[in-house]
Amino acid sequence: MNIKDQVSFKRLALSKANTQMLAVAAVAAFVTVFCLGAANYFWGLRSYQAKIISSDTVADNNLKADVRAKNQLENSYLKFANKTPNLINQNNSGFIMGPNGQKYSYNNAIIVLDALPSRYDFPALTASIQSFLQRQNLDITAISGTDQTGSVTTKPSGNPQLVSIPFSFTVVNASYSAVQNLLKNMMESIRPLTIDKMTLSGTDSSMTVTINAHTYFQPGKEFKIGTETIAR
């Protein structure tokens, strides 16, 4: 082999070696980048799984606390509802007779719901007031108020607020003692009645009484179970 051939052979060998080295370097770079990317992915996945596990633990602890609270609430409710005597000092196994012959339980839970209904019903309120006055043998000339059915919000919410319901009524030919008894019965009513204004006229044996008052209702309380999205 002459010198020229030897030089060409060496150049070919060197070129081949360079190509191999470049290939090895490329493969090494690819493996390095792949490993770094995989490590970053799995590290992010590990962090995400840790968030999920942490959230699951918190949710599980909250659920256990809710179950304990539910059991305590149920026991407290039963003690309150079945207490004897009840809030109106009656045996809770008896019944209240309504104006149309309905039977209303003396159960404390029912009494509270009657005291603060969750539904706005102005016609029912005026009918109840009329029955209340008639049971006292009072001569009624007017029961009035504004029916706000279209404007009052009755939808349950997470934080329901009391809503005032104003009304007025007038009775005539009432004796002084009958007026006293009327005010006493209003004060002892299961449903709270607040007198805003009272006008009296006439004599002790024949009085005209006009009362402007208001009562309340409160929309139901809404309980929602929400969801949580855990971002990566």
- Looking at the chain, the whole-number percentage of residues with pLDDT higher than 70 is 72
What is the average per-residue pLDDT within 199-228? 85
**pLDDT reported for residue 102:** 55
What residues contact residue 230 under an 8 Å CB cut-off, 6+ apart? 48, 51, 52, 55
Task: Write down the pLDDT at residue 10.
Answer: 52
Verify that 137 and 208 share a domain, yes or no. yes
- Supply the DSSP symbol for 157: B
Q: Are residues 3 and 31 in the same domain?
A: yes
- CATH code of residue 178: 3.30.70.60
Whether residue 46 is contained in a domain is answered as yes
Residue with tokens 């052979």: 9
- Which residue do the tokens 């159960």 mark? 107
Based on the fold, state whether residues 134 and 202 are members of the same structural domain. yes
Q: How many CA atoms lie within 13 A of 29 on its CB side?
A: 6
Residues 99, 148 within the same domain: no
Q: What is the pLDDT of residue 99?
A: 46
Q: Are residues 155 and 89 in the same domain?
A: no
- The answer as to whether 42 is a domain residue is yes
**CB 171, CB 182: distance < 8 Å:** yes
User: pTM score > 0.85 for this model?
Assistant: no
pLDDT, tens only, 135-180:
888 999 889 888 888 777 778 877 888 888 999 999 999 999 999 9
Contacts of 144 (CB under 8 A, 6+ apart): 167, 168, 169
3-state secondary structure of 165: strand
Q: Are 147 and 123 in contact (CB under 8 A)?
A: yes
Residue 126 sits in the same domain as residue 111: no
Is 189 or 211 the better-scoring residue by pLDDT?
A: 211
Q: Among 16, 49, 74, give the residue marking a domain's end.
A: 74
How far is the C-alpha of 84 from the C-alpha of 91, rounded, in Å? 6
Domain around 49 = 1-74
Task: Examine the domain organization and report whether 51 and 109 are in the same domain.
Answer: no
Which residues, including other chains, have CB under 8 Å from residue 36's CB and lie 6 or more apart? none
Instruction: Give the span between the Cα atoms of 51 and 54, in whole angstroms.
Output: 5
Residue 227 falls inside a structural domain: no
In a domain, 225, yes or no: no
Residue 230 maps to a domain: no
Q: What is the pLDDT of residue 207?
A: 92
DSSP helix/strand/coil, 42: helix
Residues 51 and 17 reside in one and the same domain: yes
Quote the pLDDT of residue 158: 77
Residue 118 pLDDT grade (very low, low, confident, very high; cuts 50, 70, 90): confident
For the stretch 14-42, pLDDT in tens is 566 556 666 666 666 676 777 777 667 66
What confidence score (pLDDT) does residue 94 get?
Answer: 53
CA distance 214 to 72: 35
Instruction: Find, among 92, 90, 89, 88, the residue nearest to 79 by Cα.
Output: 92
Categorize the per-residue pLDDT at 195 as very low, low, confident or very high, splitting at 50, 70 and 90. very high
Which strand (E) or helix (H) includes residue 107? none
Residue 223 covered by a domain: no
Residues 102 and 132 in one domain: no
Per the structure, the count of domains in the chain is 3
- Domain presence at residue 226: no
